[in-house]
Amino acid sequence: MAFDFDLIKKHYEQLPAKIAETKKLLGRPLTLTEKILYAHLWDKFPANAYERGKSYVDFAPDRVAMQDATAQMALLQFMQAGRAKVAVPSTVHCDHLIQARDNSEVDLKRAVTESKEVYDFLASVSDKYGIGFWKPGAGIIHQVVLENYAFPGGMMIGTDSHTVNAGGLGMVAIGVGGADACDVMAGLPWELKFPKLIGIKLTGKLSGWTAPKDVILKVAGILTVKGGTGAIVEYFGEGAVAMSCTGKGTICNMGAEIGATTSTFGYDDSMSRYLRGTNRADIADAADAVREHLTGDAEVYANPEQYFDQVIEINLSELEPHLNGPFTPDLATPISKMKEEAEKNGWPTKVEVGLIGSCTNSSYEDISRSVSIAKQVAEKSLKTKAEFTITPGSEQVRFTIERDGFLDTFDKIGAKVFSNACGPCIGMWDRMGADKQEKNTIVHSFNRNFAKRADGNPNTYAFVASPELVTALAIAGDLTFNPLTDTLTNEKGEQVKLDEPSGFELPPRGFAVDDAGYQAPAEDGSKVNVAVDPNSSRLQLLAPFPKWEGTDLKGLKLLIKAKGKCTTDHISMAGPWLKFRGHLDNISNNMLIGAVNYFNDKTDSIKSQLTGEYGPVPATQRAYKAQGIGTVVVGDENYGEGSSREHAAMEPRFLGVRAVLVKSFARIHETNLKKQGMLALTFADKEDYNKIQEDDTIDILGLTSFAPGVPLTLVFHHADGSSDTIQANHTYNEQQIEWFKEGAALNIIRKQFGA
Ligand code: F3S
């Protein structure tokens, strides 16, 4: 089930009828995004068109992809669903747990030892439930998906925000939390607010030093890190068509940095060539046959203002190479202005390290263009001033660039090749000396450059650029070097200019690989045993959450009244806690430790009503749990914003919190709480937040007649004997009320499959 051409063929066969129906419904020509979304509706066609930015719609994605850090909880949950196999083709990719330090071989060996139990678990669950498993060293999830699974017009979800990379092959691919992945694998629909549409018209043609990366660096400068929120970005125009498929992937990848739901491109010859180049001529042929349904309608692209919510036009012929940063990917500086900006802002101009590759930029084209620059070091008697590293995106790319002599060329400029994994891109870089926290500059071709992202040093100024520009800047060792105009002094004292980069869209001799690192699942998974050591600190099998007891909830204690911002990071911190992502009990020791207690303005210090003492949130909650006392968490506005991390909902559920009552919720977190069988409530009158006192005992009334649209009543009994009765709203529909009653959404699926 890891890959199924028949499913794609069937999808393409049904496409013309679905598109015709969508056109009838909307009464106008369609964008590509609309075609893909309406072709993936879970239910029958609606009577009226969905409202962009308003309607919540159930979709049926074609695939699920998971990376190793997020897959653990997704699969632990899936195991509870009681299904024999996943409902849609799914894959697991081991890329996040490999630390870059020495070189690919040594680093990989170390990771395989350190994370053995996690890898063994992921491999055996995959084997059992029909999931394709990509071993450590096989590559980075998004590169492997592009090379093997993405297909034009498809829809996929992935448990990583850069899942959007697959838009380069004409998909709508969206990053989600593990709970969503679990639902889709279990055969449930996936809900998304119908997005707004941003159209980006690319005119002209890329040339010289300008690369696809510069398109998205420019777009990030225009839209900023928030500009794409709630929208799908659709690229079109002659400039889009002329670009390679992997270049399109780079642009879509960094759509995550403008907050976009995802980005996509219409099907064209570059995609057909890429499919054929990656051994998928059958899909290319099938896509060619329905080509007009895999791109936006010509009328839409001729008059984009009529069909998109926002339109941006970029002339690629005039586009300059950019460097974005430091500390944010939307601070865009054209290379010609870098000298001025660096001086003005006091950015350190000596480049210490240039890093290329990662999920964003490690295509054959990227590497071949970078190598065309690296080659000139020997040809022009130069010396590389900065350190230089390469993180190949997949074993297929690594093997091919080694065969074609590129790694030799890089070796000659002193480059270090890291494992085919995330490494420095996700902060898994044990950079020597980073702990000294010295102010320094690095340039990389990754996507994110927030403080501490790459090496943990808050004083590392990271700038994002195309791999070819990163290579040039590493050679020059100077952030202000503009290869379009400046010269370098070589070993002989001569002034030399670097030639423009050149490369190959696809390997002229084709891709090659010895062992791609793929493990197909067992035909019959029923005999596969998933072993989890009961003494493990990193993995723990989940037990189903208990059903609702069938009565109103009385005598609950206030756990914490959180003040101000309370994101999923405040509720379930990342950093050192990442290693417990597969162990609910252990990771629950971070529950709400970042939330500020309203009553003392401190984090992780709350009053226990059992002892009257102040102590950490998790320990206090565990004491309540030990005595069978349920609790309530009270919060402020936009509670649970940030990510779709399901741990932020599972931890309170696991430790015995019964309800979360807030002024307002971030919607994904609200849904996650509902899925885990919690009560997610909002103050009918936000002023009531002020009535909650530190020693309150709480009753939740109205649960026996819990119904959509009917508020619940909460009584707060204060320590002085007085009480306040308030109304709490909720957004539960019939189905979600069943989730609450059964103890969790998964418990319902379990019942369905007789587990
Ligand atoms: Fe993500 Fe980069 Fe890995 S953005 S998938 S961390 S290579």
If you measure from the C-alpha of residue 290 to the centroid of ligand 1, how many angstroms do you get, rounded to a whole number?
Answer: 33
Residues 6+ away with beta carbon under 8 Å from 101: 107, 110, 429, 430
Known active-site residue 96: yes
Of the residues 270, 572, 643, 644, which is catalytic? Answer: 643
Task: Return d(Cα 623, Cα 505) in angstroms, integer.
Answer: 61
If you measure from the C-alpha of residue 335 to the centroid of ligand 1, how many angstroms do you get, rounded to a whole number?
Answer: 25
Closest ligand 1 atom to 446 CA: 2
In this structure, the residue with its CA closest to atom 7 of ligand 1 is: 422
The best mutation among 67, 93, 162 to test binding of ligand 1, ranked by most ligand atoms within 8 Å of the C-beta, falls on 162
pLDDT of residue 2: 43
Residues 6+ away with beta carbon under 8 Å from 433: none
Instruction: Give the chain's residues under pLDDT 50.
Output: 1-2
HEC profile for 397-426? Answer: HHHHHHHCCHHHHHHHCCCEECCCCCHHHH
Domains of the chain: 5-318 (3.30.499.10), 322-496 (3.30.499.10), 553-752 (3.20.19.10)
Q: Residues near ligand 1 with C-beta < 6 Å?
A: 95, 140-142, 160, 162, 358-359, 422, 425-426, 446-447
Angle at which helices 269-277 and 281-289 cross, to 10°: 160
Known active-site residue 398: no
Reduce the DSSP state of residue 206 to 3 states and report it: coil
**Pairing state of beta strands 657-662 and 553-561?**
unpaired
Whether the Cβ atoms of residue 506 and residue 407 lie closer than 8 Å to each other: no
Alpha helices in 39-115 (DSSP H): 68-79, 104-114
Task: Return d(Cα 447, Cα 450) in angstroms, integer.
Answer: 10
The best mutation among 97, 140, 144, 448 to test binding of ligand 1, ranked by most ligand atoms within 8 Å of the C-beta, falls on 140
If you measure from the C-alpha of residue 466 to the centroid of ligand 1, how many angstroms do you get, rounded to a whole number?
Answer: 16
The best mutation among 163, 359, 444 to test binding of ligand 1, ranked by most ligand atoms within 8 Å of the C-beta, falls on 359
Closest ligand 1 atom to 359 CA: 7
In tens, the pLDDT along 222-260 reads 999 889 989 999 999 999 999 999 999 999 999 999 989
If you measure from the C-alpha of residue 240 to the centroid of ligand 1, how many angstroms do you get, rounded to a whole number?
Answer: 24
Q: 488: left (phi > 0), else alpha (psi -120 to 50), else beta?
A: beta
Of the residues 62, 95, 688, 696, which is catalytic? Answer: 95
Whether the Cβ atoms of residue 421 and residue 398 lie closer than 8 Å to each other: no
If you measure from the C-alpha of residue 448 to the centroid of ligand 1, how many angstroms do you get, rounded to a whole number?
Answer: 9
Phi and psi angles of residue 225, each rounded to the nearest 5 degrees, phi first: -70, -10
Known active-site residue 160: yes
In this structure, the residue with its CA closest to atom 3 of ligand 1 is: 422
Closest ligand 1 atom to 447 CA: 4
pLDDT of residue 313: 98
The best mutation among 68, 447, 455 to test binding of ligand 1, ranked by most ligand atoms within 8 Å of the C-beta, falls on 447
**Pairing state of beta strands 190-193 and 56-59?**
antiparallel
If you measure from the C-alpha of residue 563 to the centroid of ligand 1, how many angstroms do you get, rounded to a whole number?
Answer: 33
The best mutation among 160, 453, 455 to test binding of ligand 1, ranked by most ligand atoms within 8 Å of the C-beta, falls on 160
Closest ligand 1 atom to 425 CA: 2
If you measure from the C-alpha of residue 166 to the centroid of ligand 1, how many angstroms do you get, rounded to a whole number?
Answer: 13
Of the residues 40, 645, 647, 750, which is catalytic? Answer: 645
In this structure, the residue with its CA closest to atom 6 of ligand 1 is: 426
Element (H, E) at 648: helix 647-655
If you measure from the C-alpha of residue 743 to the centroid of ligand 1, how many angstroms do you get, rounded to a whole number?
Answer: 35
Element (H, E) at 680: strand 679-683
Closest ligand 1 atom to 256 CA: 4
Rounded alpha-carbon distances, angstroms, from residue 212 to 42, 168, 218, 365, 501: 34, 11, 10, 11, 13
**Pairing state of beta strands 723-729 and 190-193?**
unpaired
pLDDT of residue 1: 40
If you measure from the C-alpha of residue 612 to the centroid of ligand 1, how many angstroms do you get, rounded to a whole number?
Answer: 46
Closest ligand 1 atom to 253 CA: 4
Reduce the DSSP state of residue 385 to 3 states and report it: coil
Closest ligand 1 atom to 393 CA: 7
Closest ligand 1 atom to 423 CA: 7
Of the residues 160, 180, 688, 696, which is catalytic? Answer: 160
pLDDT of residue 578: 79
Closest ligand 1 atom to 358 CA: 7
Q: Whose CA is closest to 209, among 505, 504, 500, 503?
A: 500
If you measure from the C-alpha of residue 140 to the centroid of ligand 1, how many angstroms do you get, rounded to a whole number?
Answer: 7
Closest ligand 1 atom to 161 CA: 1
Known active-site residue 293: no
Known active-site residue 430: no
If you measure from the C-alpha of residue 321 to the centroid of ligand 1, how many angstroms do you get, rounded to a whole number?
Answer: 23
Known active-site residue 142: no
If you measure from the C-alpha of residue 394 to the centroid of ligand 1, how many angstroms do you get, rounded to a whole number?
Answer: 12
In tens, the pLDDT along 702-718 reads 999 999 999 999 999 99
Residues 6+ away with beta carbon under 8 Å from 452: 427, 458, 460
Of the residues 11, 40, 369, 448, which is catalytic? Answer: 448
In this structure, the residue with its CA closest to atom 2 of ligand 1 is: 425
If you measure from the C-alpha of residue 359 to the centroid of ligand 1, how many angstroms do you get, rounded to a whole number?
Answer: 5
